[in-house]
Amino acid sequence: MIIYICMKIIDIFLGPFLVAYFVKISTQTIVDLSIFNIMNYLFLCFFGVLVGYFVEKGHSLGTFRLGVLARFFYILMIMILGSKITNHFSLVAFLYGFSSMFYHLPFNLYHTDCVENSKRSDFEFKMNVAKNFISIFIPVLLGTIITTTNYQLTALIILVFSIIQIIASFYLKPLPKSDYQYHLLCTFKRFLKDKQVRKMLFVDYLNGMTFSDGVLSTVVTVLIMFLFHSDFQLGIIQSITAILSLSVIYFYSKRYKGKDDKKIIYVSSILLFIFMLLLAVNPSEISIVLYQVIFGVFGIGLLTFIYGLRLFNLAKSTVNDNEKTEYWVLRELFLNIGRITGYVLLLIVGILGLEYLNYILFFLSLVVLGFSFYIARISKNEA
Consecutive 10-residue averages of pLDDT for the chain (383 residues):
86 77 70 86 85 78 89 88 80 85 83 77 78 76 78 85 90 75 85 92 95 87 75 68 74 72 90 93 86 85 87 85 86 93 93 86 94 92 70
How much is the pLDDT for 234? 62
Helices (H), the chain: 2-14, 16-25, 29-56, 60-81, 89-114, 120-148, 151-169, 184-191, 195-209, 215-228, 231-255, 262-281, 285-294, 304-317, 324-352, 357-376
Cα 89 to Cα 37, 39, 73, 122, 282: the distances in Å are 9, 8, 15, 41, 33
- Count of CA atoms in the C-beta half-sphere (13 A) of 347: 13
How much is the pLDDT for 125? 76
DSSP string covering 217-250, please? HHHHHHHHHHHH--HHHHHHHHHHHHHHHHHHHH
Q: Which CATH architecture has domain 2-172+184-376?
A: Up-down Bundle (1.20)
How much is the pLDDT for 257? 66
Domain ranges for the chain: 2-172+184-376
Secondary structure class of 378 (helix, strand, coil): coil
How much is the pLDDT for 85? 80
How much is the pLDDT for 256? 67
How much is the pLDDT for 141? 81
- Output the pTM of the full model: 0.81
167: left (phi over 0), alpha (psi -120 to 50) or beta: alpha
How much is the pLDDT for 49? 80
Query: CB neighbours of 158 closer than 8 A, spacing ≥ 6?
Result: 9, 10, 13, 75
